[in-house]
Amino acid sequence: MSATFPPLAERLDGLQSSAIRDLLKLTSRADILSLAGGLPDAELMPRDRIAVAAAAALSDRSRLQYTESPGWGPLREVLATRESGRLGRTVPVDEVFVTHGSQQALSLLSEVLLDPGSLVVVEDPAYVGALQVFRAAGARIVAVPLDADGMRVDALRELLAAGERPAVVHTVSNFHNPGGVTLAPERRRELAELAQQYGFWIIEDDPYGELWFDRPSPDAVATYSPNVIRLSSASKILAPTLRAGWMVAPTPVCRAVELLKQGADLCGSALTQQITADLLADTDWLATHVDSVRKVYGERARALVSAVRDRFGDRVISTDAAGGMFVWVDFTDGTDTSALLPKALDAGVAYVPGNAFAVSTDYSHSMRLCFTTSEAAVLEDAVDRLARAHAAKA
Ligand code: PMP
């Protein structure tokens, strides 16, 4: 007899498990070279430095205790100093809020800023972790496309002119996941002006900004308007296990998030927050560490992009991978990337088809490739396998 359980909440209707997580189960086979994952390279995470910081943190028993909901004070201070440098103004500690990864900031913010039916504008293709959160909040989601210069702010302007009134506009401003592109400086200004003019919030979701390869990423969108809530994270520069993300936001937003965080988890971990503070405050060590991550990822990105361009020529358009973790590739020859995937898996390579990130545009001819966890020679081998699968499809 099959069990019948009482119903779950209506807000779960229509929510789907992330297609990417489902796909990653398929691609974990040992014989598959995966360009599908979206993880930073564990080999580059500073395990020994974390061990030293952990030992220091554990010498104080109070690190085993609950801490304040907005985060352990000294970490907030270190973050306020860093963000002041990034934003070119003094960011008070009160405007810095530590979350369990920046994903929790997205989740708590959706409860603070959205009512069921509120309009959220996202980018297309979109960061699926944000889409899941906005969908769970019952938001109405409208997408504006990306191009080589990031969000098409002109398309947002048209939506506004047509009478749409978003509560929130979400943007991954630097080295987009999955789109690989960076929002151009003049568009940042324009976006911030629109937020002022029409009175909406911008969530500037920026976990990748420090992972630039050739030149630093542009000034943050938050430089230009107080309506910008800026999110960042230690996951990609230190280690995701620290679950240390942070938000810079006006005090009323921080206070509202605090109320909800109390209900969600009371507080974060004082232990990992002290470790994070220790590493972020060690500025000479940090600069050397982040530089070495940039160097390795930069080499891998260049190897992947040149292999893709070399093997596929004008049958693809690929982003340049100037930073971050991802390359976005559009096939110009009509290749359907979902149809190609089983053949690619047979050939021993995996990627994420573009439609996993699609909101309203059809990205069936696109794919996301991640270059972080394989060395250049392996990436080249992976692209060779992909080219074989592509040739076999004809
Ligand atoms: N935003 C974006 C755009 C991401 O790609 C990710 C991680 N994949 C996150 C937020 C969440 O990262 P974390 O919670 O580890 O800080």
pLDDT tens-digit readout, 99-152: 999 999 999 999 999 999 999 999 999 999 999 999 999 999 999 999 999 999
Q: Please tell me the chain's helix, strand, coil percentages from 3-state DSSP, rounded to the nearest 5.
A: 50, 15, 35
pLDDT at position 348, please? 96
Distance (Å, rounded) from C-alpha 126 to C-alpha 171? Answer: 9
* Nearest 10 degrees: Cα torsion 31, 22, 126, 206: -70
Threshold 0.75, pTM exceeds: yes
Q: How many angstroms is it from 55 CA to the middle of ligand 1? A: 27
Q: Is 123 in the pocket of ligand 1 (CB under 6 A)?
A: no
How open is the CA angle 265-268-269, to the nearest 5 degrees? 130
pLDDT at position 1, please? 63
Q: Whose CA is nearest to atom 13 of ligand 1?
A: 101
Distance (Å, rounded) from C-alpha 123 to C-alpha 115? Answer: 20
| Residue 165, pLDDT above cutoff 80 | yes
Q: How many angstroms is it from 193 CA to the middle of ligand 1? A: 26
pLDDT at position 17, please? 66
pLDDT at position 11, please? 77
| Residue 380, pLDDT above cutoff 80 | yes
Beta strand 326-331 pairing with 366-370: antiparallel
The whole-chain average pLDDT of the chain stands at: 95
| Residue to mutate, 20, 108, 127, ligand 1, most ligand atoms under 8 Å from C-beta | 127
Quickly list H helices, the chain: 19-26, 47-58, 73-87, 101-113, 128-136, 153-161, 185-198, 251-265, 270-281, 283-312, 337-347, 376-393
pLDDT at position 18, please? 66
Which domains does the chain carry? 13-44+287-392 (3.90.1150.10), 65-281 (3.40.640.10)
| Residues 370, 51 contacting (CB under 8 angstroms) | no
Task: Report the pLDDT averaged over residues 187-201.
Answer: 98
pLDDT at position 207, please? 98
Classify burial at 26, counting beta carbons within 10 Å of its beta carbon; exposed 0-12, middle 13-18, buried 19 or more. middle
Query: 278-337: per-residue pLDDT in tens?
Result: 999 999 999 999 999 999 999 999 999 999 999 999 999 999 999 999 999 999 999 999
